[in-house]
């Protein structure tokens, strides 16, 4: 009997473990893909600029947020410069090494399994370690005490590197060259020496071990072999991917963040300071709940939508305290509205005694004004933050800015995915809660951000749904339509599913989806902003609040009608009539409004028939009489795709003979 109960327990826990929400890394980086399309990093190498050495000091804090490393200091573009993935960085912005290359794709060697492979490189330009030229030209020697320092962090807001993964620093011993003999010429590759490495671990383990979010490393340069005009260093990471039976789940992993890479002479192992006043996290939204919201909805209740205070994280990277001033400025782009805030002055202590500023007027400045209301449908405002020493020249200051947007959609997310969100198994439901100030309103569309998966194997049907409210959780389904994902191929590429007919919503409503397969829908997940209390999931008839810290990249569009634009999919799409349905013969008839009945074939479209789990069972040119004799009894989906392979309609049908 005890054994019987034990087996029942295992079965129940196994089922519970399988029904879950799952967060994975990205399999493609749309920001890198878009940047690569508008700027080919290889052009820099073609121009031969990588052979021109730079002089000391060498410093990069990765605060430009240019996606690619700066060509002023680096020769490759595999690492990802961003202000999203690092947790408590040294300053705003960091460089991330992961398993995604300079075109935004997973490396071809990224095969699920235990074997590690080399992924990203971050390689400096040649650096003049033979000489310095100020204040007077002279030769450099090991006696000049040259040190390379940097800060590093595993995982951040990304995926944790496994214990066999690693981050490595190497110095160039000898550049590539041709070895010429009387009979042959042999290409000799670069010769590198490993100078430092770190094994992978989760961020929580790292912070417990080092009692800090970023650890600083000091590497002396004292071997005479490096004192030449072709000195170079590089970081690289070894990556492994977890194996899984579902090809849509493996993803980017082994993420490492770098900050404040500094090489100079006249240093020692205690020279750990680069004095500056810095913002650490970017400018926050002034809205209490949302990153952005429809302007008419804001205007209906501005007092309850604007924060009383905002949170600004700043630090003094010097060993000395500095009396400093902090201000922010809020203006409309048209210049018709302008407000400013002054936090006065404050003596900011060194980060080595107080890591971050806690002074109320600096760290939590008030918002003593309301954003203006009007009859306009949208508005955009610029927010600029300025932190400076009161005595100019004593330490470097900092400035950052952001836009506060009011368009026709609600957004908890910031528009940039750090991960992919999915549910398992098939039949799982996902709902996202939003609240109207002006009620009722019209739900016009729902925008989704889908991350690509390897081979796009997660392009499976799902039900796009809207629910009303039932005591703070999703209630009755008030809208449902069968659609497929369309994946992001550029920055901020949301797919718009138009609701047809438009749906009247009141008070609190929920938007989301119901899965038809076990595949990862790979919904963009913003780990920078946290709205997990608004995310609900259901795999067994009970709605649960999400356990994942972050925000789904799903945005409902409300208000006035919106046009169908490029890349936007109507949720109902083209109306398709199939008959007989259920079909008990071998011929299925297709009717689409606008295509004459007498037109039997067309070269302008393709018909694709898939089964319930998304496997393609038939593919043919457009025709209005379809031979389905090869299909077994069951439920199927028929898609019509245009000449560019974009879907323009879908319908269900049943074979029942």
Asked whether the CA dihedral 71, 72, 75, 77 is positive or negative, the reply is negative
Q: For the chain, report the end-to-end CA distance as a whole number of angstroms.
A: 47
Q: What is the pLDDT of residue 27?
A: 63
Q: Give domain 419-570's CATH architecture.
A: Sandwich (2.60)
Over residues 225-231, mean pLDDT: 96
Cβ partners under 8 Å of residue 594, min gap 6: none
Task: Look at residue 393 and tell me whether its pLDDT is greater than 80.
Answer: yes
- Partners of 259 in the β-ladder: 151
Task: Collapse the DSSP code of 470 into the 3-class scheme (helix H, G, I; strand E, B; otherwise coil) and give the result.
Answer: strand
Q: Which of 279, 231, 243, 239 lies closest to 256 in space, CA to CA?
A: 239
Given this model, what pLDDT does residue 617 score? 86
Instruction: Kindly tell me if the per-residue pLDDT of 85 is higher than 90.
Output: yes
Please give the Cα distance from 611 to 590 (Å, whole number).
Answer: 18
pLDDT at 635: 80
pLDDT of residue 594: 52
In angstroms, the CA 586 to CA 357 distance is 74
Say whether 281 sits in a helix, a strand or coil.
coil
Separation between Cα atoms, residue 495 and residue 553, nearest integer Å: 11
pLDDT, tens digit (0-9, with 9 covering 90-100), for 140-195 = 999 999 999 999 999 999 889 988 899 999 999 999 877 776 777 778 889 999 99
pLDDT at 116 over 90: no
- Which residues make Cβ contacts (< 8 Å) with residue 270, sequence separation at least 6? none
Q: Which CATH architecture has domain 295-406?
A: Sandwich (2.60)
* DSSP classification of residue 313: -
> Strand order in 568-570's β-sheet?
554-558, 441-448, 495-505, 568-570
DSSP track, 566-624:
TTEEESS-B--EEESSSB-SSEEEEE-TTS-TT--EEEEEEEEEEETTS-EEEEEEEES
Phi and psi at residue 138, in whole multiples of 5°?
Answer: -160, 160
Residue 191: what pLDDT? 95
Average pLDDT over residues 639-648: 67
Q: Is 80 exceeded by the pLDDT of residue 379?
A: yes
pLDDT band at 491 (very low <50, low <70, confident <90, very high): very low
pLDDT at residue 656, as a whole number: 86
8 Å CB contact between 358 and 349: no
Residue 454: per-residue pLDDT: 56
Average pLDDT in the chain: 85
Residue 253: is its pLDDT beyond 80? no
b/e per residue 522-552 (b: at least 16 CB within 10 A)? bbbbbbbbebeebbbbbbeeebeebebebbb
> Quick one: pLDDT at residue 417?
87
In the structure, what pLDDT confidence band is assigned to residue 34 with cuts at 50, 70 and 90? low
DSSP per-residue string spanning 135-188: SS-EE--GGG-EEEEEEEEESTTSPPPPTT-EEEEEEEEE--EEEE-SS-EEEE
Could you please state the CATH topology (level 3) that the domain comprising 577-655 is classified under.
Answer: Immunoglobulin-like (2.60.40)
Report pLDDT for 72: 93
Every domain of the chain and the residues it spans:
39-277, 295-406, 419-570, 577-655
pLDDT at 62: 96
How many CB atoms lie under 10 A from the CB of residue 478? 15
Nearest to residue 418, comparing CAs of 631, 71, 12, 100? Answer: 100
For 48-64, write each residue's pLDDT tens digit: 566 789 999 999 999 98
CATH entry 3.40.50.970 includes domain 39-277: no
Task: Give me the sheet containing 322-332, strands edge to edge.
Answer: 338-348, 322-332, 379-389, 398-406
Residue 111 pLDDT greater than 50, yes or no? yes
pLDDT at 251: 54
For residue 176, what pLDDT is reported? 86
Three-state DSSP at 36 gives helix
Q: Name the 3-class secondary structure at 630.
A: coil
Cβ-contact 526, 418 below 8 angstroms: yes
* Separation CA 77–CA 37 (nearest Å): 13
The DSSP 8-state label assigned to residue 492 in this structure reads T
Mean per-residue pLDDT, 541-569:
83
Mean pLDDT calculated for residue range 428-455: 90
Matching fold, domains 419-570 and 577-655: no
pLDDT at position 6: 33
Q: State residue 28's pLDDT score.
A: 60
Query: For the whole prediction, is pTM greater than 0.75?
Result: yes
| Spatial separation of the C-alpha atoms in residues 165 and 156, rounded to whole Å | 15
Tally the residues of the chain. 657
Q: Which of 551, 535, 518, 548 is nearest to 449 (CA)?
A: 551
Q: How far from 569 is each of 263, 432, 645, 650, CA to CA, in Å?
A: 51, 20, 13, 12
Average pLDDT over residues 91-108: 86
Query: Of residues 426 and 291, which shows the higher confidence score?
Result: 291
pLDDT of residue 182: 72
Task: For residue 517, give both structure tokens.
Answer: 């397969």
Closest among 461, 494, 491, 497 to 479, alpha carbons compared: 497
Distance between CA atoms of 51 and 175, rounded to whole angstroms? 11
Relative to beta strand 166-174, strand 233-241 is: antiparallel
Please name the residues in contact with 139: beta carbons below 8 A apart, sequence gap of 6 or more: 130, 131
Q: Could you give the angle at the alpha carbon of 119 between the alpha carbons of 192 and 153, nearest 5°?
A: 90
Split at pLDDT 50, 70, 90, the class of 416 is confident
Answer yes or no: is pLDDT of 572 > 80: no
Is pLDDT above 50 for 597? no
Question: pLDDT band at residue 418, thresholds of 50, 70 and 90?
Answer: confident
pLDDT for 236 beyond 70: yes
The DSSP secondary-structure symbol of 491 reads T
Q: Helix or strand or coil: residue 454? A: helix
- pLDDT computed for residue 638 by the predictor: 87
Q: What pLDDT score does 652 carry? A: 84
Question: What does the pLDDT look like over 282-327, one tens digit per residue?
Answer: 999 999 999 999 999 999 999 999 999 999 999 999 999 999 999 9
């Amino acid at each position: 009997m005890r054994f019987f109960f034990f087996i029942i327990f295992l079965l129940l826990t196994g089922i519970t473990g399988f029904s879950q929400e799952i967060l994975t890394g990205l399999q493609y980086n749309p920001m890198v893909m878009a940047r690569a399309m508008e700027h080919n990093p290889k052009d820099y190498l073609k121009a031969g600029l990588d052979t021109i050495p730079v002089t000391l000091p060498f410093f990069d804090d990765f605060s430009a947020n240019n996606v690619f490393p700066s060509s002023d200091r680096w020769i490759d573009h595999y690492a990802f410069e961003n202000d999203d993935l690092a947790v408590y960085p040294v300053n705003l912005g960091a460089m991330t090494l992961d398993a995604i290359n300079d075109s935004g794709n997973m490396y071809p060697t990224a095969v699920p399994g235990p074997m590690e492979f080399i992924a990203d490189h971050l390689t400096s330009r040649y650096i003049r370690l033979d000489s310095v030229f100020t204040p007077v030209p002279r030769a450099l020697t090991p006696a000049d005490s040259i040190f390379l320092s940097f800060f590093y962090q595993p995982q951040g807001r990304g995926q944790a590197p496994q214990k066999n993964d690693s981050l490595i620093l190497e110095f160039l011993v000898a550049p590539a060259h041709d070895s010429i003999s009387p009979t042959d010429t042999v290409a000799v590759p670069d010769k590198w020496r490993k100078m430092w490495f770190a094994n992978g671990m989760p961020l929580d383990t790292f912070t417990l071990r080092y009692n800090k979010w970023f650890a600083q490393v000091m590497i002396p340069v004292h071997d005479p072999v490096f004192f030449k005009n072709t000195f170079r260093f590089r970081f690289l990471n070894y990556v492994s991917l977890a194996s899984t039976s579902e090809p849509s789940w493996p993803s980017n992993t082994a993420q490492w963040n770098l900050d404040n890479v500094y090489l100079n002479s006249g240093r020692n192992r205690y020279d750990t300071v680069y004095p500056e006043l810095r913002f650490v996290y970017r400018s926050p939204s002034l809205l209490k709940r949302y990153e952005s919201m429809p302007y008419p909805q804001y205007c209906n209740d501005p007092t309850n939508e604007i924060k009383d205070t905002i949170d600004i994280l700043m630090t003094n990277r010097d060993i000395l305290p500095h009396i400093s001033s902090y201000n922010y400025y809020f203006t409309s782009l048209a210049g018709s509205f302008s407000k400013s805030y002054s936090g006065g002055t404050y003596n900011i202590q060194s980060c080595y005694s107080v890591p971050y500023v806690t002074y109320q007027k600096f760290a939590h400045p008030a918002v003593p004004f309301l954003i203006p209301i009007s009859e306009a449908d949208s508005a955009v405002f610029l927010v600029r933050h300025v932190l400076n020493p009161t005595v100019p020249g004593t330490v470097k200051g900092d400035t950052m800015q952001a836009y506060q947007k009011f368009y026709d959609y609600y957004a908890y997310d910031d528009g940039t995915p750090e991960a992919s969100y999915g549910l398992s198994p098939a039949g799982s439901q996902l709902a996202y809660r939003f609240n109207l100030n002006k009620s009722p309103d019209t739900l016009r569309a729902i925008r989704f951000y889908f991350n690509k998966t390897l081979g796009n194997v997660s392009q499976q049907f799902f039900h796009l749904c809207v629910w009303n409210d039932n005591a703070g959780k999703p209630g009755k389904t008030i809208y449902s339509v069968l659609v497929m994902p369309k994946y992001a191929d550029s920055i901020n590429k949301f797919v718009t599913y138009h609701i047809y007919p438009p749906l009247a919503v009141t008070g609190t409503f929920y938007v989301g989806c119901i899965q038809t397969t076990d595949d990862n829908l790979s919904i963009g997940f913003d780990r920078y902003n946290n709205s997990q209390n608004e995310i609900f999931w259901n795999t067994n008839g009970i709605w649960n609040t999400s356990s994942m810290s972050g925000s789904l990249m799903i945005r409902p569009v409300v208000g006035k009608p919106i046009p169908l634009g490029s890349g936007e999919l109507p949720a109902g799409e083209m109306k398709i009539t199939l008959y007989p349905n259920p079909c008990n013969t071998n011929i299925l008839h297709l009717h689409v409004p606008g295509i004459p009945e007498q037109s039997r074939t067309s070269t302008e479209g393709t018909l694709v028939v898939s089964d319930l789990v998304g496997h393609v069972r038939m593919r043919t040119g457009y025709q209005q009489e379809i031979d389905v004799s090869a299909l077994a009894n069951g439920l199927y989906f028929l898609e019509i795709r245009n000449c560019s392979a974009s879907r323009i309609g879908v319908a269900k049908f049943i074979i029942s003979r």
